[in-house]
Amino acid sequence: MTGGGFIRLPGGSVVVALALPRPGHTGHRVRVLVHAVNRQRALTRLRNLGLRAVYLRGNTEPPTPDEVTAVLHHPDGLVWRETPEDDTESWHPIRALLRCR
């Protein structure tokens, strides 16, 4: 889990997926999904939450259809999971990640 990516939805909005360092846990990374009107707005949403060094370079790991469904069904449109390949782990609201700081 070293990259990120995005997918444009039929309505024009995007879902951005990023691998970010987990606050307060050295060496741990989490997969974060953001639904927004465009890629820049998705990154701005994360930066506004205090995750300042957030960049999307390329499209090496775009969100899977299951990830898109998860973020679209969340009221905030912003979720994370520590082990993306583990389908038994639930997606968490971003507030839970920021409390770990």
Run of H or E including 79: strand 78-81
pLDDT tens profile 41-76: 999 998 998 877 788 888 999 999 999 999 999 998
Residue 1: the pLDDT is 39
pLDDT at residue 86 in the model: 72
Residue 92 scores a pLDDT above 80? yes
| φ, ψ (nearest 5 deg) of residue 8 | -90, 130
Integer Cα distance of 6 and 62 in angstroms = 5
Q: pTM of the full predicted structure?
A: 0.86
| Mean pLDDT score, 8-25 | 87
Q: What does the pLDDT read at residue 24? A: 65
